[in-house]
Amino acid sequence: MTKKLDIKDHNTLFQAEKYQKQAEGKRVFEAACSVQEVEDTVELLKTEEYKEKNFNREAAVINPAKACQPLGAVLAALGFEGTLPFVHGSQGCVAYFRSHFARHFKEPVPAVSSSMTEDGAVFGGMRNLIEGLENSTALYKPKMIAVSTTCMAEVIGDDLSAFIENARIEGAIDQEFPVPFANTPSFVGSHITGYDSMMRSILAYLSEKNGDLSYKIPSEKVNIITGFDTYTGNFSELKRILELMDVDYTFLGDHSDNLDSPANGEYNYYYGGTKLDDVAQAHNANGTLLLQKYSTKKVTKYINKKWKQDTIAVSSPLGIKNTDQLLKNIKELTGKDIPQVLKDERGRVVDALADSHPYLHGKRVAMTGDPDLLLGLISFCLEVGIEPVHIVCTNGDKNFAEEAEALLKTSPYGMEGKVHIGKDLWHMRSLLLTEPVDFAIGGTHMKYCAKDAEIPLVRVGFPIFDRHHMHRYPIIGYQGTLNLLTLIVNTILQQLDDEAPAHSFDAVR
Amino acid sequence: MEAMQEPACEHSMNNNNHKGCAKPKPGEAAGGCSFDGAQITLLPIADVAHLVHGPIACGGNSWEGRGSLSSGSSLHRYGLTTNLNEQQIIFGGEKQLRDAIRGIVDRFSPPAIFVYSTCITALIGVDLDAICRSETEKLGISIIPVNSPGFVGSKSLGNRLAGEALLDYVIGTALPPSESKWDINLIGEYNIAGEIWDIKELLAQVGINILSKITGDGRFNEVRWAHRTKLNMVVCSRALINMARKMEERYDIPYFEGSFYGAKETTASLQTIARLLNDKELIDRVQAFTNQEEKKLDQELENYRKKLRGKRAVLYTGGVKSWSIISALQELGIDVVGVGTNKSTNEDIARIRERIGKDAKLIESGGAKKILQTFRKEKGDILIAGGRNMYVALKEHIPFIDINQERHHAYAGYKGLKKLAEQLVNSLENPVWQIVKLQPPWKER
């Protein structure tokens, strides 16, 4: 064995005297404020008075719990066979999206940019787009390119439709090569809006171009659209349920293979995804089931209007009631029965909920996330006696707030719940410090205010950078309910152990 | 053999041709063995080392299985065992035992070591008494043999054998640093969930002092001077009645059986203590104190009682709890509609009858299935039992409260009744019961 080097990591390195002294010296040099002043400010930030100021804040958003439109558009694009997400604008944006997804999924993420620069900003981005399309088809050999836009392209008013047409005329891409596009400025909406726009655009493009919407071939198929769902485990869980029910289905947008590819020694750019030809036939289906509604508003409208198809849109099916509703919806759409396997599974999960409920009863929780996820989480919490107290939804709208409030009102455990739309994690911090709760549910970004409030964070949602593989396990369906339950109850039990005096540090809980 | 003839126990071989402590029935889902029983009684003595002489399973499986809490030393929580292997079983395992004892003395220097025999060491004929005697002489600390191998019988018999070990080797070997006129011992209270702390506080409020805790949150020395007490209160009657009786015989210490579950029982216990200590001042103090506490508790319980009134409970636990918890539940307005008596003595059963009348069902044996049958038939709302029956109840959508050793809530005294009420309300009101009973929407009617 080679000799082990003693290399300190950053947790320990700066504890060394040398660096401590250096930091002291730096403080003097920088004329930093006094320790007392820092402490006073920390105390002030915990007060009701500061909370009021904080909630009157208009000019700044501090730690928003949302991402921007093109990020959602990239995820939507990754759901289709051989599709390269192409973001028209400056290239920094794309680098962010890629690292964001890579950090969450621990996977490489193919996405390209038209890399606009100063001259593009002045003279318009057409040249960049045309060259970009030419180069990326040659380099990455996609079957389709899905173009979305950054703020910059939107501000200078680039006309994507005309630019793509010009690219065909110039021969940069084939006449028939599919290039759906969506306008996705970051200054409007959030990642769920971008997902919606891009998805609508891809469905419209492929079904109108390659299919014939004027007549339907009756079919038993059902279309499934998951919405902005970052749990690859949810896809396999959903497929398992559909297969157990013997349903003939088509996923419209399935990014689970692209973001969970096998490590077999050779990387391809494209894995799985919805077949482009399947999208052309999708309007023939018996109906479309959408598993998020706030991220699929435009898509739903389009399917109703253009495909003249029935749609059922529900919020994330978390918990028993929501999963029951999901199965009922599938049954109604397809006429298929619910098999015994699923009924047994339900019984087992109900059993698990009963086993754990004494530790969950009356626990107060704060949560952040996307609207549909939050509705699912609230419903789950109310089922086991957890009390949602602070619900912060940066990208939630009025409809969401009304729906969430109505849901909270259905249970005595929701009475204390307050829904804050358009608020950020700094608001959340004030809430946590003035009205304490027992634990928090949210993505990684919530860990800072959770730490300040000295409560544990159960990581659910997007992004999750600091825990591994969470996205590989479903949170929807009965199985997902079990996973969610396990995650939450074990966090509570860990907390119990951490806080237990020696004599109550019990083996059996 | 002597333990099987305990005259204060109506199961005794001397009484009405009984065959002694009931033997476990083959093929029946049974409780613990005598080894387990002996450990239950002695483990709460926190500052001594508990060494299990046998293969890994006896010590390994029982390790940390009880919620007997200690306010100081935690030596009792170390799972110490000789972990005998095949070779050692063939050649006797004496060396391992001696090494283990010395190892423990070196490492922990405890005031004493309890050495438990197990089925295996009893079968291969290890002379535990002789080894312990010689090690005691060499090392100068008490090494005490506990001869209660699993095969001799039930858990209750094990409790009693452990009591014998205390009588033979511990009690009467030291004097307390100070004594008071109102000293009592608590026998058979194991400080589950910290109950003895609540009891201690309660007794202190009228000036009663616990001289020896046998054995909840106990220390070796206090058990040694237990014979200097004025009165023994036996809290878990079946387990250690022999100990109280023998102490009466040897040291002329009166004893009584009582409980701290529920306000009525608590008051009755305090009154009995005062009466037996035969002190006018104490009797008056107890009278004033219990009046005041009961009044206060009544107010605090008002809201809980509203929610609990008329709820139907089935109780399945052992010994003293089978009747004392009934009083507690009744005080909260709960109807007790079924009581398990598997581990109750005839005297316990008589007390149950006194409290719930003839109509309520007694469940003699039959385990989980029988309990659930009774529960359904009597239209119960909540089941109160031990951990082993908990998951069956939950499987059947029955609200449940754990009353045995794995619980985390102390129910003794006036305070405890309030906690019990709170737990009952929580369990009954949790929305999970709506979810488990919710019919899936696709279900055809």
A343 → chain B, closest CA residue: B440
Question: In Å, how far is B382's CA from the nearest CA of chain A?
Answer: 14
Ranges of H-type helices in A307-339:
319-334
Positions of E strands within B324-374? 335-340, 361-363
- Say whether B426 and A321 touch across the interface (CB within 8 A): no
Rounded to a whole number of angstroms, the CA Rg of chain A reads: 25
- Say whether A355 and B394 touch across the interface (CB within 8 A): yes
Q: Is the peptide bond before A463 cis (omega within 30 degrees of 0)?
A: yes
B252 located within any domain: yes
B251 located within any domain: yes
Tens-place pLDDT, residues B192-213 = 889 999 999 999 999 999 999 9
Domain co-membership, B192 together with B245: yes
pLDDT confidence tier of residue A474, bands split at 50, 70 and 90? very high
Whether A130 contacts A172, CB under 8 Å: yes
Instruction: Tell me: pLDDT of A45 over 60.
Output: yes
Instruction: Classify domain A340-503 by CATH architecture.
Output: 3-Layer(aba) Sandwich (3.40)
| Higher pLDDT pick, A466 / B28 | A466
pLDDT confidence tier of residue A2, bands split at 50, 70 and 90? low
Alpha-carbon distance A134 to B187, whole Å?
A: 89
Q: Out of B69, B426, B432, whose CB is closest to A384?
A: B432
pLDDT confidence tier of residue B76, bands split at 50, 70 and 90? very high
Residue B86 is predicted with a pLDDT of 84
Tens-place pLDDT, residues A112-123 = 999 888 888 888
Domain co-membership, B193 together with B98: no
Q: Does B422 touch chain A (CB under 8 A)?
A: no
Q: Out of B64, B67, B432, whose CB is closest to A354?
A: B432
Positions of E strands within B268-376? 312-316, 335-340, 361-363
Which of A95-99, A212-216, A502-506, B361-365 is predicted least confidently? Answer: B361-365
Residue A481 is predicted with a pLDDT of 98
Q: Could you tell me the residue ranges of all domains in chain A?
A: 69-210, 222-334, 340-503
Last residue of a domain, one of B225, B257, B288: B288
When pLDDT is averaged across residues A88-92 and rounded to a whole number, the result is 86
Contacting residues of B for A321, CB less than 8 Å apart: 435, 438
Share of chain B above pLDDT 70, in %: 91
B444 located within any domain: no
Domain co-membership, B324 together with B284: no
Report how many domains make up chain B: 3
Please report, as a single letter, which amino acid is at residue B91: F
Instruction: Tell me: pLDDT of B16 over 80.
Output: no
Domain co-membership, B154 together with B208: no
Contacting residues of B for A314, CB less than 8 Å apart: none
From chain A, which residues contact B within 8 Å (Cβ)?
320-321, 324-325, 327-328, 331, 338, 343, 346, 350-351, 353-355, 357-358, 361-362, 382-385, 411-413, 502-504, 506-509
- Say whether B438 and A324 touch across the interface (CB within 8 A): yes
What's the mean pLDDT when you consider all of chain A? 93
Q: Which residue has the tokens 């009891």?
A: B199
Q: Does B408 touch chain A (CB under 8 A)?
A: yes
Residue B22 is predicted with a pLDDT of 62
CB pairs under 8 A between A and B: 79
When pLDDT is averaged across residues A287-297 and rounded to a whole number, the result is 97
The tokens for B141 are 């600390």
Which of A2-11, A190-199, A489-498 is predicted least confidently? Answer: A2-11
When pLDDT is averaged across residues A259-267 and rounded to a whole number, the result is 85
Alpha-carbon distance B240 to B220, whole Å?
A: 17
B176 located within any domain: no
Positions of E strands within A348-465? 364-368, 387-393, 418-421, 439-442, 457-459
Residue B438 is predicted with a pLDDT of 87
Catalytic annotation on A151? yes
B178 located within any domain: no
Contacting residues of B for A331, CB less than 8 Å apart: 442
If we measure between CA atoms, which residue out of B227, B225, B235, B247 comes closest to residue B164?
B247
C-alpha A349, offset from chain centre: 25
Residue B64 is predicted with a pLDDT of 79
Residue B150 is predicted with a pLDDT of 87
Share of chain A above pLDDT 70, in %: 100
- Say whether A385 and B431 touch across the interface (CB within 8 A): yes
Residue B245 is predicted with a pLDDT of 94
Which of B29-43, B357-371, B426-440 is predicted least confidently? Answer: B357-371
- Say whether B74 and A502 touch across the interface (CB within 8 A): yes
Domain co-membership, B165 together with B235: no
Residue B173 is predicted with a pLDDT of 95
- Say whether B408 and A506 touch across the interface (CB within 8 A): yes
For chain A, give the longest Cα–Cα distance. 79
ipTM higher than threshold 0.90: no
Tens-place pLDDT, residues A406-451 = 999 999 999 999 999 999 999 999 999 999 999 999 999 999 999 9
Domain co-membership, B30 together with B160: yes
| Higher pLDDT pick, A394 / B22 | A394
Whether B411 contacts B418, CB under 8 Å: no
Instruction: Tell me: pLDDT of A1 over 60.
Output: no
CA distances (Å), A346 to each of A327, A478, B111, B328, in order?
A: 11, 6, 55, 37
Alpha-carbon distance B119 to A394, whole Å?
A: 65
- Say whether B431 and A321 touch across the interface (CB within 8 A): no
Domain co-membership, B271 together with B356: no
CATH of the domain at B327: 3.40.50.12380
Last residue of a domain, one of B253, B288, B323: B288
Instruction: Tell me: pLDDT of B237 over 80.
Output: no
- Which of A244, A386, A506 best tests the B interface by mutation, with the highest count of B CBs <10 A? A506
pLDDT confidence tier of residue B406, bands split at 50, 70 and 90? confident
Last residue of a domain, one of B136, B169, B202: B169
- Say whether B426 and A503 touch across the interface (CB within 8 A): no
CATH of the domain at B73: 3.40.50.1980
Residue A373 is predicted with a pLDDT of 98
Ranges of H-type helices in B31-170:
34-42, 56-62, 86-91, 94-108, 119-123, 128-139, 155-169
Domain co-membership, B163 together with B94: yes
SS3 B188: strand
Instruction: Tell me: pLDDT of A265 over 60.
Output: yes
| Higher pLDDT pick, B281 / B10 | B281
Contacting residues of A for B70, CB less than 8 Å apart: 503
If we measure between CA atoms, which residue out of B107, B106, B104 comes closest to residue B115?
B104
Which one of A33, A42, A155, A341 is the catalytic residue? A155
Residue B23 is predicted with a pLDDT of 62
Alpha-carbon distance B13 to B30, whole Å?
A: 22
Domain co-membership, B141 together with B10: yes
- Say whether A506 and B64 touch across the interface (CB within 8 A): yes
Tens-place pLDDT, residues B318-345 = 777 888 889 899 999 999 999 987 767 7
Domain co-membership, B12 together with B152: yes
Whether B126 contacts B84, CB under 8 Å: no
The tokens for B398 are 């029955």
What's the mean pLDDT when you consider all of chain B? 88
Tens-place pLDDT, residues A312-362 = 999 999 999 999 999 999 999 999 999 999 999 999 999 999 999 999 999
B244 located within any domain: yes
Instruction: Tell me: pLDDT of B143 over 70.
Output: yes
Q: For residue B372, how many other CB atoms are within 10 A of its CB?
A: 20
Domain co-membership, B241 together with B375: no
- What backbone phi and psi angles, to 5 degrees, belong to B101? -60, -45
Which one of A151, A349, A393, A460 is the catalytic residue? A151
| Higher pLDDT pick, B386 / B247 | B247
- Say whether A383 and B435 touch across the interface (CB within 8 A): yes
Residue A346 is predicted with a pLDDT of 97
B373 located within any domain: yes
Domain co-membership, B9 together with B143: yes
Catalytic annotation on A314? no
CA distances (Å), A115 to each of A120, A144, B39, in order?
A: 9, 19, 75
Instruction: Tell me: pLDDT of B317 over 90.
Output: no
From 3.40.50.11810, 3.40.50.1980, 3.40.50.150, 3.90.950.20, which CATH number describes the A222-334 domain? 3.40.50.1980
B293 located within any domain: no
Q: Does B425 touch chain A (CB under 8 A)?
A: no
What's the CATH fold of domain A69-210? Rossmann fold (3.40.50)
Question: In Å, how far is A412's CA from the nearest CA of chain B?
Answer: 9
Alpha-carbon distance B337 to B318, whole Å?
A: 17
Tell me which residue range forms the domain holding B255: 183-288
